[in-house]
Structure 1
Amino acid sequence: GLGTIQILADALPKIVPYVLINHREELLPLIMCAIERHPDNATRDSLTHTLFNLIKRPDEQQRRIIMDACVSLAKNVGEMRTEIELLPQCWEQINHMYEERRLLVAQSCGELAEFVRPEIRDSLILSIVQQLIEDPATVVREAAAHNLALLLPLFPHMDKYFKVEELMFQLACDPSGVVVETTLKELLPALINWGNKLDHILRLLISHILDSAEHCPPLSGVEGSVESHLRVLGEQERWNLDILLRILADLLPHVHQKAIETCPFSSVSESNGPIFSSSVLELYAGGHVEWPAFEWMHVDCFSGLIQLSCLLPQKEDSLRNRTTKFLLAVSERFGESYSTHIMMPVFLVAVGDAADFTFFPPNIHSRIRGLKPRTAVAERLAVLGILPLLLAGVLGSPGKREQLADYLRKLLVEGAMKENQSITHNNDIVNAVRFLCTFEEHHSLIFDILWEMVVSSNIELKIGAANILKVIVTYVDAKVASTHVLPALITLGSDQNLKVKNASIDAFGAVAQHFKNDMIVDKIRVQMDAFLEDGSHETTMAVVRSLVVALPHTTERFRDYILDFHIFQLTSMPAFATDGMSRRQRANVFCEAICAVDAT
């Protein structure tokens, strides 16, 4: 009866402190009974306070037990008492010094929301979650993301959609990977299902991607230079861009599905073949109907990624890699016809090449043509930023090996034979091929083309092959280095042309830097001896410079070889050069060697 409840309510606050922490949860049924049945508001408040402060720093299991008790209590006492008595006591903990208590607040937002009036959920409860998202503790922010995802289906209407969308992007760019993972796996899908505003999320996403890069300082302050367009990314900006590109990849299935669902051509649903077949693309190209969900990918998304690629310096391989994997996923999901007739033309135009517009409706021709670089700076930015994506992300898809081979030959073989090609342009092409080599599946194709260049009679092609071999060494293993790289370099090293020979020497130095395999090192040593027997000043300097570069990174045995037989022999060698410039070069190389030794 009431007398028993009164005795219980009076006794519990006195008993709790004397019960061992690990056993206090056993008092929960009594506390809940007293809270549920006691007639006095003040007493119930005091007991609810005891409930939430039962354990000083509750662990995960203890928080679960307390929250289960709260949910059970909320079911029994109804909406009004849950709002008036239960939630305020819980939310008093929002600024508590212990994160375990603040975690209880986060859990209450998601789990008690269904037991309060709907209008409380997207007002008071949402504002509590918003405050928890700013919490200094990672676990609390993660819990806020998780519980916001639980909360969304309970919102009575869409009034707070844009606020929630903003919170999602804030959590997605959180510095903690744990918070990001929870946001991407739980909150993002919940937002899409609840809000059904995929088009708005996509627009905002591309905007955030470009803003994140554009707000970084330029590589150079010289207006009009290529470097003034490239951005120096800080750690946070790089992190944010990586996450935003991940979101783009996560949204791809939704984009694809919406494009299918909104297809204006009835033949698609009746066909058992690829959804975006050539016949469907021909109908689309007629321009008689609108298909914005399909068009977003090649009109807005690709354009945004192309803009981003022209802001990223060469060293941002990780972001370029993320973008490439997204493009490959688009090819796989949208199909071969889409990849060939839609993706390829967009990226070919963006690098300044001719493209076939047969499968584009007339109303978007001007937008796609607008991607073409119009100035010398824009052309160089296209080679630096867009060409790697074209090679690895578009032509790099599994069904395009032959087209990739043809395009690479055009770049490397035909391009090298053109007159007035600047060294800078050639270096940018080499860098694009280097990036392609970060994807191992293309190695055999690249080595086939490189061998064609190695055995060519054209000196520029041979030098180009040596330059590419030098930069791709990092991305191959010892077996490939032995079977492909070294034979090609040995062939180039035996060439009678001094420029070809010296280019191969630089590449041998790069191999020596990256491999400590005895067989590889021995082959390099034999080749270096052969170069030194040549006796020319220029070749000797090239050998020593390449060995100096390798010195801090190579094996102890090869280091001794460099020091004993070549570097320090420079001091005792006869003056093989009589002019002052050559002597100065020899002295400079010796100084570089001393510095390299010191670095080891």
Structure 2
Amino acid sequence: MLQEKIAMLRENESLLKANEKLNHEKECLLKNKDLADGQIKALTKSSEALQKDLKDRENLSQSLERYKEEIKSLRMEMESLKAKNSIATDALDSRNCGKESIQGEENVVEIHEDKTVISHQVDTTSGVLENQDAPLLACQTSDDSMKKPEEVAQELLISSSSENGTAGNVVNAPKQNGEPPPEESEGLGTIQILSDALPKIVPYVLINHREELLPLIMCAIERHPDSSTRDSLTHTLFNLIKRPDEQQRRIIMDACVNLAKNVGEMRTETELLPQCWEQINHTYEERRLLVAQSCGELAEFVRPEIRDSLILSIVQQLIEDSGTVVRDAAAHNLALLLPLFPNMDKYFKVEELMFQLVCDPSGVVVETTLKELVPAVINWGNKLDHILRILLSHILGSSQRCPPLSGVEGSVESHLHVLGERERWNVDVLLRMLTELLPFVHQKAIETCPFPTVSESMGTLFSTSLLELYAGGHVEWPAFEWMHIDCFPSLIQLACLLPQKEDNLRNRITKFLLAVSERFGDSYLTHIMLPVFLVAIGDNADLTFFPSTIHSVIKGLRPKTAIAERLATMCVLPLLLAGVLGAPYKHEQLVEYLRNLLVQGTVKESQPTKRNAEIVDAVRFLCTFEEHHGMIFNILWEMVVSSNIEMKISAANLLKVIVPYIDAKVASTHVLPALVTLGSDQNLNVKYASIDAFGAVAQHFKNDMIVDKIRVQMDAFLEDGSHEATIAVVRALVVAIPHTTDKLRDYILYASS
């Protein structure tokens, strides 16, 4: 009975849970139904709005066609009127010429665009209008305006013959009361008609064809006498297309440049620039982009004092824009703007903007800044020394502001800093900037060389003879010394702040050092660069080619404590191997140094065993450069076949860490044979070290041939029957489970069981 009650209670509980689940599903379905109803209503409204929009578009299209027909008819009517007016004018001129000798007065006739004809009597002897002989006015009403020009001309002739002493008519003679001549008046009338019509026409022109209206808009802006009308038309120009693409922006910008050329500085400042300022916070980034483009291109057509005040303020605000393309355009146009600045008053402001753009989160903006703005600032400001000083300060500051890797004071990790994503990006782009500045540093060093005779013969490289003269210490050469007194020590300091995982930044420093050796030459690399980095890792170096005055500076780089020595091995040794000895013409010296380091066990006479891990990591970093793989495997094979147990273990550790940087071919031809050799060694420590390396290979390669070789070797380890070997195999292969093939995964499960 008790069991039945328990069963019933459990069944009851399960039914209650099922009921709750059904209720929950019911609520979800009701919610989904409400959501679906809401979406149906929204779609219905959207459909109605779309139908209404289509209907409005049809109406607009019909209106546009009607406007086009009206414009066409107006043009035809204007052309016919001009032709008829020309005929009437010729008739009047011929009649006047026949009576010119006997008449003392002239009738001045004006034909306005509103078809009103005005006749004036002018005294030909005095040239002054007579009020008492007022002009005969033939002011047409709306009905009269329909008369033919021939009829108007006949009426003028009849009225003129009734006056005593009346002379022939002179058509379109200039007035003497300050009013514009008829031709100008007719032109102004046309401009007025155009200005009134354009704002009404633009909305009905398809967006992709609105640029065809630009000549009319430009003509109206340029010639209209009223400033408020011009402002309205300029506003229409900048708002002609809601979201202009690159080609449309280029067309609009070319139109603005042509307009600025024609209207002069004052009107460009008072009419075009205010429109730029109004658009600076526009919702659409395409319009803000148009503003950015206008800053660089219109600056040429305003007064110099406006360029580094108003226009610079516009650019500064655009640099803060949320749109990447806008900031990119701001950087480009700031570079165009700098040569037009009248003086250097705003230099430090521009330099600040340059560093802000260099550290921009967008790679596109950074690229534009490095390639265009940075060279422009250097050429304009001629303050390379100041830029370099600020640059090194920013590089170190970005790393030093980050928290330490460990809070245990006195440990190696307490000297390393955990870089955030933003700080890592800043250090990276600033190191890129340092590389971009290298040609300027090199050129300035050559230009300021205090030994002109030698510098002319050496070209662009620093020869040994020149370095010998420099070592004499008789003259100052700050542009040359900056590299090894300021730059290299700062980079060494930066490297000692970076954890081992920051390979990308270490790689960036290495590429800079390789670029220095390539540009400054082999003599500089051998006698200046190499001694600096040898001293920095605690080795002895030849300082013969340094002036005695700076020996203390170079020697100050030597690590002075055990912690400093570990940091130097961990952080500076990779730079020495890859960035200094890794230069193409130092290959033999790199091989010798690396063999000393690995095969003979030490560079110095007594190498602490605890530094082996740091040395292995330094060689691992060197393997990130594929050109050194062959040399490294040759040395590794020497270590594999050595009789020294520690060297064999180091070889297995090295093979394990370099696996991620090689391909399947190298793994099959170099790594696996070496590991098989180590795996057959009688020493258990060597064997276990090779098992870990086999696990790394299994983790990175899915090639069937490689997997089969690994299985064969793992079988050999398991056949030993050693519990420690079995544990080592399982531990090594477990990490490969998520990455390897099904075949090896099944094998791992079998080995584990």
Assess same fold via TM > 0.5: yes
Matches within 5 A, 1:68-107: 68-107=254-293
Shift of 1:267: 2.9
Aligned to 1:472: 658
The separation in 2 between residues aligned to 1:40 and 1:417, in whole angstroms, is 85
Runs of 4+ in 1 over 4 A off after TM superposition: 416-424
Aligned to 1:590: none
Does residue 207 of structure 1 match 2:393? yes
Matches within 5 A, 1:369-408: 369-408=555-594
Does residue 446 of structure 1 match 2:626? no
Shift of 1:418: 9.2
Aligned to 2:436: 250
- Residues 417 and 460 of structure 1 are in contact (CA less than 8 Å); yes or no, is this contact kept in structure 2? no
Q: Deviation digits for residues 319-343 of structure 1, max 9, x if unmatched?
A: 1111111111111111111111100
- Residues 358 and 429 of structure 2 are in contact (CA less than 8 Å); yes or no, is this contact kept in structure 1? yes
Q: Deviation digits for residues 298-332 of structure 1, max 9, x if unmatched?
A: 11111111011001100000111111111111111
Shift of 1:550: 2.1
Aligned to 1:328: 514
Does residue 195 of structure 1 match 2:381? yes
**Paired residue secondary structure (1:359):** coil
Check 1:514–1:154 CA distance in 2 against 1; reply closer, same or farther (3 A cut).
Answer: same
Amino acid at match of 1:150: L
The separation in 2 between residues aligned to 1:424 and 1:305, in whole angstroms, is 25
Check 1:417–1:386 CA distance in 2 against 1; reply closer, same or farther (3 A cut).
Answer: closer
Does residue 522 of structure 1 match 2:720? no
CA RMSD of aligned residues (A): 1.6
Q: Deviation digits for residues 367-404 of structure 1, max 9, x if unmatched?
A: 11111111122111111110100000001111112211
Q: 1:25 aligns with which of 187, 197, 211?
A: 211
Amino acid at match of 1:219: L
**Paired residue secondary structure (1:525):** helix
**Paired residue secondary structure (1:228):** helix
- Residues 596 and 603 of structure 2 are in contact (CA less than 8 Å); yes or no, is this contact kept in structure 1? no
Matches within 5 A, 1:279-290: 279-290=465-476
Matches within 5 A, 1:578-589: none
Q: Deviation digits for residues 565-596 of structure 1, max 9, x if unmatched?
A: x111xxxxxxxxxxxxxxxxxxxxxxxxxxxx
Shift of 1:420: 8.8
Aligned to 2:492: 306
Does residue 559 of structure 1 match 2:749? no
The separation in 2 between residues aligned to 1:184 and 1:201, in whole angstroms, is 13
**Paired residue secondary structure (1:222):** coil
Matches within 5 A, 1:489-568: 489-564=675-750, 566-568=751-753
Does residue 437 of structure 1 match 2:623? yes
User: Between Structure 1 and Structure 2, how many residues are aligned?
Assistant: 567
Aligned to 2:673: 487
**Paired residue secondary structure (2:410):** coil
Greater relative contact order, per chain length (Cα 8 Å cut-off, separation 6+): 1
Shift of 1:274: 6.6
- Residues 464 and 523 of structure 2 are in contact (CA less than 8 Å); yes or no, is this contact kept in structure 1? yes
Check 1:485–1:135 CA distance in 2 against 1; reply closer, same or farther (3 A cut).
Answer: same
Q: Deviation digits for residues 480-530 of structure 1, max 9, x if unmatched?
A: 112211111111111111111111111111111111112221111111111
Unaligned 5+ segments in structure 2 are 1-186
Check 1:184–1:514 CA distance in 2 against 1; reply closer, same or farther (3 A cut).
Answer: same
The separation in 2 between residues aligned to 1:273 and 1:55, in whole angstroms, is 55
**Paired residue secondary structure (1:550):** coil
Matches within 5 A, 1:55-204: 55-204=241-390
Q: Deviation digits for residues 259-289 of structure 1, max 9, x if unmatched?
A: 1111111233442577311111100000011
- Residues 454 and 462 of structure 1 are in contact (CA less than 8 Å); yes or no, is this contact kept in structure 2? yes
Aligned to 2:89: none
Aligned to 1:571: none
- Residues 404 and 416 of structure 2 are in contact (CA less than 8 Å); yes or no, is this contact kept in structure 1? yes
- Residues 597 and 603 of structure 2 are in contact (CA less than 8 Å); yes or no, is this contact kept in structure 1? no
Deviates further, 146-155 or 483-492: 483-492
The separation in 1 between residues aligned to 2:506 and 2:455, in whole angstroms, is 36
- Residues 298 and 346 of structure 1 are in contact (CA less than 8 Å); yes or no, is this contact kept in structure 2? yes
Shift of 1:142: 0.7
The separation in 2 between residues aligned to 1:499 and 1:55, in whole angstroms, is 75
**Paired residue secondary structure (1:415):** coil
Shift of 1:50: 1.4
Shift of 1:12: 1.8
Deviates further, 308-317 or 262-271: 262-271
The separation in 1 between residues aligned to 2:458 and 2:601, in whole angstroms, is 43
Does residue 315 of structure 1 match 2:508? no
The separation in 2 between residues aligned to 1:483 and 1:29, in whole angstroms, is 72
Shift of 1:423: 5.7
Aligned to 2:45: none
Deviates further, 389-398 or 472-481: 472-481
The separation in 1 between residues aligned to 2:624 and 2:289, in whole angstroms, is 43
**Paired residue secondary structure (1:352):** coil
The separation in 1 between residues aligned to 2:605 and 2:383, in whole angstroms, is 53
- Residues 219 and 228 of structure 1 are in contact (CA less than 8 Å); yes or no, is this contact kept in structure 2? yes
The separation in 1 between residues aligned to 2:675 and 2:694, in whole angstroms, is 7
Given the two structures, how large is their TM-score scaled by the length of structure 2?
A: 0.74
Shift of 1:90: 2.3
Matches within 5 A, 1:568-579: 568=753
- Residues 118 and 154 of structure 1 are in contact (CA less than 8 Å); yes or no, is this contact kept in structure 2? yes
- Residues 416 and 464 of structure 1 are in contact (CA less than 8 Å); yes or no, is this contact kept in structure 2? no
Amino acid at match of 1:376: A
**Paired residue secondary structure (1:95):** coil
Aligned to 1:11: 197
Amino acid at match of 1:567: S
Shift of 1:68: 1.1
**Paired residue secondary structure (1:263):** coil
- Residues 352 and 372 of structure 1 are in contact (CA less than 8 Å); yes or no, is this contact kept in structure 2? yes
Shift of 1:417: 11
Deviates further, 40-49 or 112-121: 40-49
- Residues 416 and 461 of structure 1 are in contact (CA less than 8 Å); yes or no, is this contact kept in structure 2? no
Q: 2:235 aligns with which of 31, 43, 49?
A: 49
Aligned to 1:368: 554
Aligned to 2:426: 240
